[in-house]
Amino acid sequence: MPHSPKPSPSSNRRRNLNQPPSSTATTAATTALTRALSPTPIPRSSSLATPSSRNTTSNLHPTTPSRTSSLSLSRNPSPSPARPKEEPGHYNMQDSSEDELSALQQENLLLKDDINALDAQNTLLRDTLRQVKTDHRQELAQLQDQIRGLKEFVSKSGNGGAGINGSEQTTSDEVFEEGMGKLGNGLQNWVLVYWRRSKIDLSHASEATLTELDRLVPTYRDLVSTAKIHLLQSLVSRLLTESIFNTYFVGLSPSEADKLAEAEKSLGTYATSPEMMSQWRSLTLAILQKDASGKLQRETSTIVDALVAKVNRLLDEITSSKSNDARDQGLRSLIASAVDLSRLLAVQKAVFAVHMPQVLPHQQIMFDAGTMEDIGGEDEEGLFEREISCVTFPGIIKRGDETGGHLQFRNVISKARVLCCPE
């Protein structure tokens, strides 16, 4: 049996193309076409796919895109490209600067509000403090008026003052303080007017004058070159204290004054209380001042003339300034004021003493803020335990009350004026 030749591959292909497709192949093709044409829902995540995922799909089908994908994209509009997702750790400099600027502006506004609030509180506190000070001054003025009224009431109450049957009223302490201050200022001005340009020269002074200087102002040699005006004030003040303020009653002769002083001392041994003796002394001296003014004036003139002569003799010998009528008239006016003040102090029921400490070269007299006033202008706190060099004017110390009793009570009416030694 002859062998038939085997058909070549090319002849087979031609034969397949000319033959109609089988039913199985037709069914498979129909199924694939139906799937391709049917609408397939596109997953939500596919619209947010990153460029990297799309690139991966294209790499899987580099040549021909799938029909399904093409139909799906044609049915749904393409979304706008999404903002690239920031990688972890990425820092946006622009956004950060804006946030910081906004935070600083907000903090600045808060600080301004705080400053405005503090300014308002400060203004309120200043107004409150100003009002408190005003109220305090008004209250202090009212209290001073009340105290002054109470003192006047106390002075005018009770048994009256120093006169007979209470006809004379007790003088208030403010009158003595004011009178002593005027007298001290007057003496200071008198010395300045007539000895401001004068020089002190002890070479022509007599032995008696130097002895008197040493008794009145024991430290005068230390003050000649450093405190000329203060030395002269101290000298005249000491003479006024001895001749006027320390006498029993100005205008009485020394013998009469001694008799009254002895009578007071004798009566004191029979009196039951010091108050009774104070009232007796006050009443007795008030009678002399009122009814014996003529006799007192003669003796007073003698005392004033003697004191003027003594002051002129001492100052003319130790200074280059010589006495004249104007200077003497000023001195007489000062002595007359001292006499009036001394008599007014004497007729009070309380015991008044003119206080002028004695400064000795071999002793230290320390500054006492309670009874002394420094004329050097230094603060009292800096004068603690400071030695004084001289006393330029005396002060007044009161014992007892307006009735003459309670002599244990002590009150400084006027402080002594002193000059402290430099540090």
The Cα–Cα gap between 320 and 162 comes to 47
| Range 313-322 average pLDDT | 93
More confident residue, 304 or 95: 304
What b/e readout covers 213-248, taking b as 16+ CB neighbours within 10 angstroms? beebbbbbebbbeebbbbbbbbbbbbbbbebbbebb
The pLDDT assigned to 33 comes to 52
pLDDT tens for 362-414 read 888 899 999 999 998 887 777 888 899 999 999 999 999 888 888 889 999 99
The Cα–Cα gap between 191 and 228 comes to 10
Among residues of the chain, what percentage have pLDDT more than 90? 42
Q: For residue 235, is pLDDT > 90? A: yes
| Range 111-126 average pLDDT | 89
The pLDDT assigned to 67 comes to 41
Mean pLDDT computed over every residue of the chain? 78
Place 268 in a pLDDT band, splitting at 50, 70 and 90. Answer: confident
More confident residue, 175 or 167: 175
What b/e readout covers 366-395, taking b as 16+ CB neighbours within 10 angstroms? ebeeebbbbbeeeeeeebeebebbbbbbbb
The pLDDT assigned to 154 comes to 52
| Range 268-293 average pLDDT | 86
The pLDDT assigned to 16 comes to 45
| Range 313-339 average pLDDT | 94
The pLDDT assigned to 74 comes to 41
The Cα–Cα gap between 195 and 319 comes to 8
Residue 374 φ then ψ, to 5°: -80, 130
Structure tokens at 395: 């002060």
| Range 195-204 average pLDDT | 91
More confident residue, 315 or 37: 315
Place 30 in a pLDDT band, splitting at 50, 70 and 90. Answer: low
More confident residue, 29 or 386: 386
More confident residue, 2 or 294: 294
| Range 170-199 average pLDDT | 93
What b/e readout covers 255-285, taking b as 16+ CB neighbours within 10 angstroms? eebeebeeebeeeeeeeeebbebbbbbbbbb
| Range 22-44 average pLDDT | 52
The Cα–Cα gap between 96 and 99 comes to 5
